[in-house]
């Protein structure tokens, strides 16, 4: 079973919830946790992890390479590159941070002077946590592409341990890594905050969740910073509401000292436990 935690908006407490659910469910099931935010991974911090058992560079994309011995300097490659990744000043030159590896230049080159080569554009890291489950995390290097492909690779790596339950901490937004995270998921825990932007972005990610026909529940974090809007979101959610989490400064103290929220003095720890019970009842974990 795959359980994804998603939000739409960043900074709403998604990784905090994911880390706590992983720790709680690991007491009764064989689980694996996956940090699918490959642009800014932070699930390891919520689990108190600062180093890794294993780190491996991976390639999930290609870039154009020019063979100047064959190049006739016709400029066709620069003309067909829709990403502006092929500069041309007397001879063509690949601008690596703009190249998407689409292969148009290779296809249209009349001299067969361009080919695509795989590049090491990210890494996959893993760590066996002290809570008894493995954490798999990805990191896309700055300026590189292929975030969705790395997420797919992360899920495959996490599946190697044959878990009964996989906890997926999705990235913020609605882009490629989020779609890759939600693909094949059995249940989604959506986290929001009582702000106009939080609610708007929740509705955007909900479109993806509904597109994949994924059952879901909603958690309202920091509900007490705007009780009126929290009530409105709660009524909108109806029976999809899993619970509410309070705004508590102890949460900030916990993350600043790399203390998992369940081991902190925050009242949010007890509130997340109630959310976990609700998820367990609805999904039969």
Res 274: pLDDT = 97
Task: Give the end of a domain, one of 49, 84, 119.
Answer: 119
The low-confidence residues of the chain, meaning pLDDT below 50, are: none
Cβ atoms 4, 128 nearer than 8 A: no
Structural domain total, the chain = 2
Number of H helices, E strands in the chain: 10, 13
User: What letter does residue 21 receive in the DSSP assignment?
Assistant: H
Domain check: are 75 and 197 in the same one? no
- The pLDDT tens digits for 120-179 are 999 999 999 999 999 999 999 988 888 999 999 999 999 999 999 999 999 999 999 999
Domain check: are 110 and 148 in the same one? no
Domain check: are 199 and 214 in the same one? yes
Domain check: are 55 and 66 in the same one? no
**Boundaries of domain holding 109:** 61-119
Res 207: pLDDT = 95
Res 143: pLDDT = 83
Domain check: are 95 and 17 in the same one? no
Q: What is the CATH number of the domain that holds 70?
A: 3.30.70.20
- Exposure string of 25-60, with b = 16+ CB inside 10 Å and e = fewer, is bbeeeebbbbbbbbbebbbbbbbbbeeeeeeeebeb
Q: What is the CATH number of the domain that holds 16?
A: 3.40.50.300
Q: Which residues contact 98 (CB under 8 A, 6 or more apart)?
A: 83, 84, 85
Task: Give the end of a domain, one of 51, 86, 119.
Answer: 119
Domain check: are 169 and 99 in the same one? no
Domain check: are 73 and 20 in the same one? no
Task: Give the end of a domain, one of 89, 119, 149.
Answer: 119
Res 144: pLDDT = 86
Domain check: are 100 and 223 in the same one? no
Q: Which residues contact 72 (CB under 8 A, 6 or more apart)?
A: 110, 111, 113
Domain check: are 186 and 252 in the same one? yes
Res 90: pLDDT = 86
Res 285: pLDDT = 78
Domain check: are 88 and 193 in the same one? no
Res 197: pLDDT = 95
Domain check: are 191 and 68 in the same one? no
Q: Determine the Cα–Cα distance for residues 265 and 50; give it in Å rounded to an integer.
A: 22
Domain check: are 237 and 169 in the same one? yes
């Amino acid at each position: 079973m795959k359980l994804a935690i998603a939000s739409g908006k960043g900074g709403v407490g998604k990784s905090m919830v994911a880390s706590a659910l992983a720790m709680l469910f690991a007491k009764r099931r064989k689980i694996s946790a996956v940090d699918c935010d490959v642009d800014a991974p932070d699930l390891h911090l919520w689990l108190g992890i600062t180093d890794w058992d294993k780190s491996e560079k991976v390639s999930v994309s290609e870039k154009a390479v020019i063979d100047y011995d064959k190049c006739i300097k016709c400029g066709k490659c620069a003309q067909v590159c829709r990403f502006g990744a092929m500069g041309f000043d007397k001879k063509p030159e690949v601008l690596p941070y703009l190249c998407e590896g689409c292969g148009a230049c290779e296809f249209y080159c009349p001299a067969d002077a361009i080919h695509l080569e795989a590049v090491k554009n990210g890494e996959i890291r893993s760590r066996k946590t002290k809570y008894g489950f493995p954490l798999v995390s990805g990191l896309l290097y700055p300026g590189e592409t292929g975030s969705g492909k790395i997420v797919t690779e992360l899920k495959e790596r996490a599946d190697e341990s044959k878990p009964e339950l996989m906890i997926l901490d999705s990235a913020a937004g609605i882009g490629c890594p989020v779609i890759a995270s939600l693909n094949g998921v059995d249940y989604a825990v959506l986290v929001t905050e009582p702000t106009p932007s939080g609610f708007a972005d929740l509705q955007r990610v909900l479109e993806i969740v509904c597109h994949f026909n994924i059952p879901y529940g909603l958690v309202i974090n920091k509900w007490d910073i705007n009780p009126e809007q929290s009530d409105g979101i709660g009524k909108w959610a109806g029976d999809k509401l899993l619970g509410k989490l309070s705004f508590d400064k102890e949460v900030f103290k916990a993350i600043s000292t790399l203390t998992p929220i369940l081991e902190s003095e925050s009242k949010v720890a007890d509130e997340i436990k109630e959310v976990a019970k609700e998820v367990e009842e609805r999904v039969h974990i």
